[in-house]
Amino acid sequence: MKRCIIVGGGHAGAEAAFELRKKGWQGEIVLISAESYLPYHRPPISKTYLTGETPLKRLYIKPAAAYEKANICIKLTTKVVDIKPLEHTVTLDSGELLTYDKLILCTGCSSRKLTVPGAELDNVFSIRTLDDIEHIARTLGSNQPPKHIVMIGGGYIGLETAASFKKLGHHVTILERSSRILNRIAAEPIAAHITKLHQAQGVNIFTDKSVTALTGEHAVQAVYCSEGESFKADIVVIGVGAEPNTCLANYAGLQTKQGRIEVNQQGKTSVPDIYAAGDCTIGIEPFSGQNTTLESVPSAVQQAKMVAATICEVPQPQIQVPWFWSDIFDCKLQIAGLYQGYDTVIERVYNCDSKSYWYVKSHKIIAVTCINCPSDFQAGKKILKENITISLSELKNVVNPIIPNTSPVPA
């Protein structure tokens, strides 16, 4: 019987396994994951899981019974340590050798380490896995007095995590190296809005702060920045981005670019019978035509679907508009499309808490970012997907619906 091995049990790995079955793969499916949990939803770990609102059993993408039903063999707490493409084998950390007919790499990313003195002290954490959150939760304890938490990095994960800590009643400070937060995913006005939101809730945000050292006896006690400034810290959480796990790909001799596995539009790598999906890849994003990595759940899921379709030799899934969300305090941030390369931004303001920013390139909408405005997000996605032309000069005017002849403005 043929065997497809999937390395990595994150969003891409889990989706690939179930999609293979759905699309008609008759052979064995073996899903190998280094983590000790069944594949789970990663986004809530910095949000409602950290705050205790979502219990563990609600995080799993599918229950154990679903793997049984689909006849997917899942090996947890198991790492693939080598790939031999000519022999078509993978080596597990137990020493076991498995042969494959098809191999899918869904190894995702790991948190980027902070390379400053003191980074190895106790109570310095990253945020990528459930285990990371468990360690943080254990250190915070329950019903303990509030702690001083310093969050290094003002990306969306840092901001979400800071908001969750604040909800739990701690003193939270965010240190960002560049001149503003959310530099990578959102334009200036959004960053300004999110900054205000944090400040209103009592989170301190300092920009242009380059961390030079962490100090403390065994556990961290303070964070030092380049101008000698220091911040008291019982706990430090590092959110300075993620690095693709491409060690295996390098062993197998796969072509990489910017440290990620290069894939074509069918999810094939440069080596026969090896495919890749999710955060560890780089390739042409079908909607925008940009050569990029999106590091988002919808993109990981879509890429996994593409790979499954390729392996099962069935038509590719419909192209999706790239999108993303983040929940910070009570603010829902939703983004559709890719805003890079815009020449104009049009603002549509319902009130100070609810607005959307439309990115235009050569008179065409290429993306929209929405703050507490799901209706604009949905309209934006539809406009992008169906290539609908709307009047840009009327877009500002919230009295009119965005797409003519659709339901009116949000309440």
Partner 1 sequence: MLKITFIQHDGETIETEVEPGMSIMQAAIENLVEGIEGECGGSGSCATCHCYLSEQWSDKVTQPDNNESQMLEMVNDTTAFSRLSCQVKITKEHNGLSVTLPESQY
Ligand X SMILES: Cc1cc2nc3c(=O)[nH]c(=O)nc-3n(C[C@H](O)[C@H](O)[C@H](O)COP(=O)(O)OP(=O)(O)OC[C@H]3O[C@@H](n4cnc5c(N)ncnc54)[C@H](O)[C@@H]3O)c2cc1C
Q: How far is CA 407 from CA 27, 172, 370, 376, 404, in A?
A: 48, 42, 18, 11, 9
Q: How many CA atoms lie within 13 A of 271 on its CB side?
A: 24
Task: Give the SS3 label for residue 19.
Answer: helix
Kindly tell me the burial class for residue 294, based on how many C-beta atoms sit within 10 Å of its own C-beta (0-12, 13-18, 19 or more): buried
Residue 9 binds: one of ligand X, partner 1, none (C-beta under 5 to 8 A by kind): ligand X
Phi and psi, residue 102, nearest 5°: -130, 145
**Exactly one of 33, 173, 221, 269 binds ligand X (CB under 6 A); which one?**
33
Indicate which of partner 1, ligand X, none lies near residue 142 (CB less than 5 to 8 Å, by partner kind). none
Comparing CB distances to partner 1, the nearer of 52 and 117 is 52
Residue 206 interacts with ligand X (CB under 6 A)?
Answer: no
* Sole binder of ligand X in the list 43, 154, 155, 267 (CB under 6 A): 43
Look at residue 375 and give the partner it binds from ligand X, partner 1, none, a contact being a CB closer than 5 to 8 Å depending on partner kind. Answer: partner 1
Site pattern 314..353 for ligand X (x: CB under 6 A): ----------xxx---------------------------
User: Residue 114 or 297: which CB sits closer to ligand X?
Assistant: 297
Distance of CA 102 to the CA centre of its chain: 26
Q: Is 128 in the site for ligand X (CB under 6 A)?
A: yes
| Residue 62 to residue 69: CA distance in whole angstroms | 11
Beginning with the edge strand found earlier in the chain, give each strand of the sheet holding 256-257 in spatial order.
256-257, 260-262, 281-284, 291-292
Query: Near ligand X by CB under 6 A, which window of 35-43, 113-121, 334-342, 383-391?
Result: 35-43
320 binds, among partner 1, ligand X, none (CB under 5 to 8 A by kind): partner 1
Indicate which of partner 1, ligand X, none lies near residue 268 (CB less than 5 to 8 Å, by partner kind).
none
Shortest separation between residue 391's beta carbon and partner 1, angstroms: 18
Please give the size of the binding site for ligand X, defined by CB under 6 A: 36
- Name which of 221 and 288 has its Cβ closer to ligand X: 288
Question: Footprint of partner 1 on this chain (CB under 8 A)?
Answer: 41, 43-44, 47-48, 58-59, 61-63, 65-66, 69, 297-298, 301, 318, 320, 323, 325, 327, 332, 334, 373-375, 377-379, 381-382, 406-407, 410-411
Token pair of 349, please?
Answer: 């303001």
Residue 58 interface partner, choices ligand X, partner 1, none, CB cut-off 5-8 Å depending on type: partner 1
Q: Which does 32 bind (CB under 5 to 8 A by kind): partner 1, ligand X, none?
A: ligand X
3-state helix, strand, coil in the chain (%, to 5): 25, 30, 45
Residue 251 found at the interface with ligand X (CB under 6 A)? no
Least distance from partner 1 to the Cβ atom of residue 15, Å: 9
Neighbours of 104 (CB within 10 A): 31
CB-wise, 41 or 112, nearer to partner 1? 41
**What backbone torsions phi and psi does residue 317 show, to the nearest 5 degrees?**
-65, 160
Q: Does 308 bind ligand X (CB under 6 A)?
A: no
Going by the DSSP 8-state scheme, the letter that residue 125 receives in this structure is E
CA-based nearest residue to 61, from 106, 92, 16: 16
| Beta carbon of residue 20, minimum distance to partner 1 (angstroms, whole number) | 15
The verdict on 109 binding ligand X (CB under 6 A) reads yes
Q: Does 163 bind ligand X (CB under 6 A)?
A: no
E strands of 8-147, at which residues? 28-32, 72-75, 80-84, 89-92, 97-99, 102-105, 109-111, 124-126
State the Cα–Cα distance between residues 63 and 178, nearest whole angstrom.
42
45 binds, among ligand X, partner 1, none (CB under 5 to 8 A by kind): ligand X
Other residues' Cβ atoms within 10 Å of the Cβ of residue 287: 17
Task: State residue 145 phi and psi, 5-degree precision.
Answer: -60, 155
- Closer residue to partner 1 in complex, CB, 70/271: 70
Contacted entry of ligand X, partner 1, none for residue 261, CB cut-off 5 to 8 Å set by kind: none
Count of Cβ atoms closer than 10 Å to residue 404 Cβ: 10
The H or E element that residue 131 is part of is helix 130-140
Interaction site with ligand X (CB under 6 A): 7-13, 32-35, 42-43, 45-46, 79-80, 106-109, 127-128, 157, 245, 248, 278-279, 295-298, 300, 324-326
